[in-house]
């Protein structure tokens, strides 16, 4: 859970855990189906949030889907096939579909499949069915990634600036003008500030 994790590159979080204060609700994903009320209460206490907390689990579909058709999992369960995964934790995917004669191909999370990758997959399948996740189908590898980097870097920077300003702007009401509301209890604002009220700002609230 995010309360046990750290910001990249030391952990997997893309923003500080203090960002939970902006949430309307907290959703705990990938929970066991038999998660008890006592276990749920312990998780709520560990999260230390005031928002409502919901618990969800993963339910696999009874069918697999193609562009214009679908098959029942039970119909292809024992059939020899190739399973292709490009997700962080493919174990659930493999456990649900894999049979004894199946072969698997594992690619990194967010992998951009190239022409060579596709040729490798087709060669491995050799006429057999190829099954992947919906996420794997949607990822496309650009032909000229270096030339695309400036555009995406600019978009990422501008999005970060907008998100930072949004944290510090108080919403306008009626005919009032927008106003800054700097909350140093917010970890992002606290560690982004260099000076305040004419003095050097030190993260942690010490000026």
pLDDT at position 207: 45
Structure confidence by residue, pLDDT tens digits, 180-196 = 888 888 877 888 888 88
Over pLDDT 90: what percentage of the chain? 10
- Tokens found for residue 168: 């510090």
Q: Which sequence spans correspond to the domains of the chain?
A: 2-55, 63-138, 145-200
Structure confidence by residue, pLDDT tens digits, 170-180 = 776 777 777 78
pLDDT at position 161: 86
Residue stretches of the chain with pLDDT short of 70 = 136-145, 172, 205-207
Does the predicted TM-score (pTM) go above 0.75?
A: no
pLDDT at position 42: 92
């Amino acid at each position: 859970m995010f309360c046990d994790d750290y910001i990249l590159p030391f952990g997997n979080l893309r923003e500080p855990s203090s960002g939970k204060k902006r949430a309307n609700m907290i959703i705990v994903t990938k929970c066991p189906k038999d998660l008890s009320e006592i276990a749920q209460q312990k998780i709520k206490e560990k999260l230390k949030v005031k928002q409502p907390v919901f618990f969800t689990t993963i339910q696999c579909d009874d069918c697999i889907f193609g562009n214009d058709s679908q098959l029942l999992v039970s119909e292809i369960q024992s059939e020899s096939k190739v399973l292709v995964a490009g997700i962080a934790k493919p174990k659930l995917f493999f456990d649900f579909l894999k049979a004894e004669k199946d072969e698997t191909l594992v690619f990194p999370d967010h992998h951009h499949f190239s022409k060579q990758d596709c040729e490798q997959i087709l060669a491995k399948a050799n006429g057999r069915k190829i099954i992947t996740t919906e996420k794997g189908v949607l990822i496309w590898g650009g032909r000229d990634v270096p030339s695309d980097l400036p555009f995406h870097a600019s978009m990422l920077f501008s999005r970060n600036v907008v998100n930072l300003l949004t944290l510090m702007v108080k919403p306008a009401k009626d005919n009032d003008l927008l106003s800054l509301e700097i909350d140093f209890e917010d970890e992002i604002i606290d560690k982004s500030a260099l000076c305040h009220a004419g003095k050097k700002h030190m993260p942690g609230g010490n000026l």
